[in-house]
Amino acid sequence: MMSHSVQSSAPLTQRFQPMTIVGLGPDWLQHSPDVMEKEKLSPTPSLPDKKLEVKLSAMPWFHGKISREQAEQLLNPKQDGLFLVRESTNFPGDYTLCVCFQGKVEHYRVKYKDNQLTIDDEEFFENLAQLVVHYEQDADGLCTQLIKSLPKKGKQDFCIDTKKFVEAGWVIHESQLELRESIGKGEFGDVMLGLLRGEKVAVKMLKDSSEAAQKFLTEASLMTSLRHENLVQLLGLVFNNKHIYLVTEFMSKGSLVDYLRSRGRLHVTKKDQINFAVDTCAGMEYLEWRKVVHRDLAARNVLIAECGSAKVADFGLAREENFTLDAGKLPIKWTAPEALRLAMFSNKSDMWSFGILLWEIYSFGRVPYPRIPLADVVKHVEKGYKMEAPEGCPPEVYEIMRLAWDLLPEKRPNFKDVKSKLVQLKATTL
């Protein structure tokens, strides 16, 4: 399983840990007069009115990669039933349950077998959280039942239970989905064109792996709470014995960056450009209002629908705002300096990325910082370097870019204000 590390007061790393999920009440889609007047859902196949949000819950007892000796040092004083879970050092991919009994620490191997976890090959569990709950209720062959967990200090981890998606109404029966051709590759596996009850949908297919499953379901869990006409809408998930499919609305015109590059100046009009800017900003304004940070906003992660509207996609790194991430695998040219240096992500770091995305729109999909080697981008940016306006870019749009690229996050504008400026500009764009 992979890891989502989180700090209690602040931020989430790029390892994706196990995740446990809690359904919330049916009225999770609240209405804020500001943002919600625009929050119309585009027609999508079979999206029930009342689906519940699927949330993550913590695994404070999971200590990740620590050795047998470190576990024994941490478990002090050795009260019967005091326990923690760590990654197995001898069997990568498995776990070890460490529990105190009669002044010693017993180490039980937790095997990953046929997509499930087991200690004794008799009781099987979907994730670590279920396994811990079982042995808290009954020793069931262990030296003692689990009585008290030893919480990990600092970053804590999470776990997901697929049954919660079932309970919250997000599961699509396999018989309702027909898979067609591959339309792309994603982080987790192929993205296929599908037909859901006769309507076109996009299907992200998960390669079989416990770690990837947790990361995949983390993205899905966040998407259960988000509905806006400028966000790609989750329609549901399919679970079978071998695969998990994440089903979203189908965006027939592909990614914004490919759309801009393939059509170029001849076919992409000023009106198209300002529409893409307004649409993306509206989706981001909604995320800002929901206190969700995207973390990977770029023209490659904005998709274009058949009608030409733009929608923000790819919530693989998105999190509620009090999470943080390792800067290891971040797209340097799109990521704000404080996020790269200090892993400080916020709606203001998303605004920096939005400035880069505006530059992409008005340069017809060029790669940002075209004449600077990747290794030198950060030092130039930290000295205050800002890209020049793309040829033909309206001065009002370039001014938004410059404000978005302020080195001080608090000085950057918010998405609500930027959207109103862009909407005004749209009204005068021919």
Pick out the residues of the known binding site for ATP. 204
Rounded Cα distance between 204 and 190, Å, is: 6
Tell me if residue 296 is catalytic: yes
Active-site residue, from 161, 272, 296, 314: 296
How crowded is the C-beta side of 246, counted as CA atoms within 13 Å?
30
The three-point CA angle 226-232-235 to 5° equals 75
User: Locate tokens 């079982």: which residue?
Assistant: 134
Selection from 62, 57, 137 nearest residue 96 by Cα? 62
Single-letter amino acid, residue 8: S
CA distance 407 to 405: 6
- Dihedral sign, Cα of residue 315, residue 316, residue 317, residue 322: positive
Q: How many whole angstroms separate alpha carbon 405 and alpha carbon 412?
A: 7
Six-digit token pair at 60? 């404070």
User: Is the peptide bond preceding residue 77 cis, with omega within 30 degrees of 0?
Assistant: yes
- Pull the structure tokens for residue 94: 């498995």
- End-to-end Cα, the chain, rounded Å: 52
- Which residue numbers belong to the known binding site? 204
* Residue keyed to tokens 């009260």: 79
Q: Token pair of 218, please?
A: 């983390």
CA atoms of 81 and 152, how far apart (whole Å): 16
Can you list the alpha helix ranges (DSSP code H) found in 194-242? 210-223
Catalytic residues: 296
